Amino acid sequence: MSDNVKVKEPGRIRRWFRAMKSELKKVSWPSAKQVTKNTFVVLACLILVGLFVFVIDFGFIKLLQMVLPDISLQW
Q: Is the pLDDT of residue 12 over 70?
A: yes
**pLDDT cut 90: percent of the chain above it:** 63
> DSSP for 4-26?
T---PPTTHHHHHHHHHHHHHHH
Residue 7 — very low, low, confident or very high, per pLDDT cuts 50/70/90? low
Residue 66 to residue 37: CA distance in whole angstroms: 44
Residue 73 — very low, low, confident or very high, per pLDDT cuts 50/70/90? low
| The pLDDT value given to residue 26 | 94
3-state helix, strand, coil in the chain (%, to 5): 70, 0, 30
Q: Domain spans of the chain?
A: 33-75
CB 36 within 8 A of CB 29: no
